[in-house]
Structure 1
């Protein structure tokens, strides 16, 4: 399986809640950005997939919150694949702050579907060819 892809994002003031920490509902957005950038690092864009008639809806999301992140922290999102994609692709994530404290661990499952019929399809060969296992 391939190494972890690391993407960094700085927390913004508008993402904090009344307690001054990053609101729990923001983390799925961070995970999405990390997934999109992981694909982009392989030379694949979501936009291109959609133009090819391929969609990738999230069908499962699980997050374990370990420690709060706060405004203006630089977070590192480590993204990896759990297994070789089939009609689904499972991402594992670990998000760390600048002190390397684990903020969250998470996973998402997405399914490759045909844009018109919304029926599952196999992971495209050109994606499999870019993933090291």
Structure 2
């Protein structure tokens, strides 16, 4: 299950050297994840009303090649592991056929009182749940 999300690099995304500031890659992959979640039918506002929200538990990131002002990028997201308690995703940022940034992101859910809770049932039922 994969997803592609286009990004354009704006001047505000760059640092003094004219390259994308490192933290902005995390923003790019967050936008792509939010778009993917919406696309598969998960309503985060409904989740929040029920007292459950997504939280990033872990990010492993590799900065490979810098992006610069006005680049057209694509964030490719692929769910690599899904259990009732967590979702692991591979998220890569590409400029054409050049890999710029690669991340492995672990997502969990937090319920009332900030306690861990299961992922939503409609997400847990996706084909990768329990290694399927």
TM-score by length of 1: 0.89
Rounded Cα–Cα distance in structure 2 between residues aligned with 1:76 and 1:112: 26
Q: Does 1:112 align with 2:109?
A: yes
Query: Which structure 1 residue ranges, 5 or more long, are not aligned?
Result: none
Instruction: Flag as ranges the 4+ runs of structure 1 deviating above 6 A.
Output: none
Q: CA RMSD in A?
A: 1.3
Alpha-carbon shift at residue 23 of structure 1 (Å) = 0.5
Rounded Cα–Cα distance in structure 1 between residues aligned with 2:44 and 2:34: 7
TM-score by length of 2: 0.90
Q: Deviations over 1:2-54 (max 9, x none)?
A: 2x111111111001011111000111111110110000111113222212211
| Residue-pair matches, total | 128
> Which structure has more strand as a fraction of its residues?
2
Query: Which structure 2 residue ranges, 5 or more long, are not aligned?
Result: none
Q: Does 1:102 align with 2:78?
A: no
Rounded Cα–Cα distance in structure 2 between residues aligned with 1:85 and 1:48: 21
Match of 1:9 in 2: 7
Cα pair 1:89 1:110 within 8 Å, conserved: yes
Cα pair 2:84 2:124 within 8 Å, conserved: no
Alpha-carbon shift at residue 78 of structure 1 (Å) = 0.5
Q: Deviations over 1:68-121 (max 9, x none)?
A: 001111111010111123212111111101x3100001011121110x221111
